[in-house]
Amino acid sequence: MRILVVEDEKKVASFIQRGLEGEGFSVEVAYDGESGVEMGSQSSFDLILMDVMLPKMDGLQAIKALREKGVESPVLCLTAKDTVEDIVAGLDSGSDDYLTKPFAFAELLARVRALVRRGTQERGAEITYADLRLDPVAHKVWRSDSEIDLTAKEYALLEFFMRNPETTLTRTMIAEHVWDYTFDSFTNIIDVYVNYLRKKVDRDYTNKLIHTVRGIGYVLKED
């Protein structure tokens, strides 16, 4: 497994590199955003660890640039910022997860393994529910005959709903399956993303599909 670490603090980069190599990963390091985009787009990596505060090009810009170049490797953001707005901005840029500095290496390793595992799972055939259709291979979604433009995290959330229709999903379940972890403050992030998803999936349709189960979570079902 090959991992690209994009981190300008050389001591932090060295700490991460040594730890991951000790776990059997092959690790390359870039020290600024521009180099990270160049290395990430010219070679195939199983995972990219991207610091947010980088010289030349910040981490969020670098992630967007990689996604625009067609790089689909999972990205884990490393950031000292932990507000809801900061987290949403990171996820919307195309990252798959985030980890707040300072962090324990054991937690970093757990996130790395979860993202690598998710990236190598077989994606399977199309999923349908009501007039929704999801293509796990192309990462595309349609309602009736209209394609819905979703961010990577909105897509992952909808896929979880569609694989568990008419089942009440708690916020903990959603956090564990869509983000691979759970903690109390993450509730707001889940609510924000469900709201985003509702606007795109239900806003123009009389038959609403995403419903709140008060005090528990959410469910995908027909009215």
Domain 127-220 matching CATH 1.10.10.10: the answer reads: yes
Q: Which residues pair with 127 in a beta bridge?
A: 134
pLDDT computed for residue 71 by the predictor: 86
Between 91 and 149, the higher pLDDT residue: 149
pLDDT computed for residue 122 by the predictor: 43
Cα end-to-end span (Å), the chain: 45
* Separation of alpha carbons 100 and 21, rounded Å: 21
pLDDT computed for residue 131 by the predictor: 94
What residue type is 142 in one-letter code?
A: W
The percentage of residues in the chain with a pLDDT greater than 90, rounded to a whole number, is 45
| Two structure tokens written together for 126 | 């199309």
- Let me know the angle formed at the C-alpha of 147 by 141 and 149, rounded to the nearest 5 degrees: 75
Express each pLDDT in 163-182 by its tens digit.
889 999 988 888 877 765 55
* Separation of alpha carbons 108 and 25, rounded Å: 13
Domain ranges of the chain: 2-120, 127-220
pLDDT computed for residue 48 by the predictor: 94
- Average pLDDT over every residue of 67-94: 80
What residue type is 223 in one-letter code?
A: D
Express each pLDDT in 4-37 by its tens digit.
999 999 999 999 999 998 888 889 999 999 999 9
Instruction: Give the CA count within 13 Å in the CB-facing half-sphere of 129.
Output: 22
- Average pLDDT over every residue of 61-65: 92
Q: Is the pTM of this model over 0.75?
A: no
* Separation of alpha carbons 15 and 38, rounded Å: 23
Task: Indicate the burial class of 194 (C-beta count within 10 angstroms; 0-12, 13-18, 19 or more).
Answer: buried
Matching CATH number, 2-120, of 1.10.10.410, 3.40.50.1970, 3.40.50.2300, 3.40.50.700: 3.40.50.2300
Please check whether residue 87 is in contact with residue 98, taking contact to mean a CB–CB distance below 8 angstroms.
yes
pLDDT computed for residue 124 by the predictor: 56
Kindly report which listed range (23-27, 134-138, 202-206) carries the lowest average pLDDT score.
134-138
What residue type is 114 in one-letter code?
A: A
Between 96 and 169, the higher pLDDT residue: 169
| Residues contacting residue 206 through CB under 8 Å, at least 6 positions apart | none
Average of per-residue pLDDT values in the chain:
86
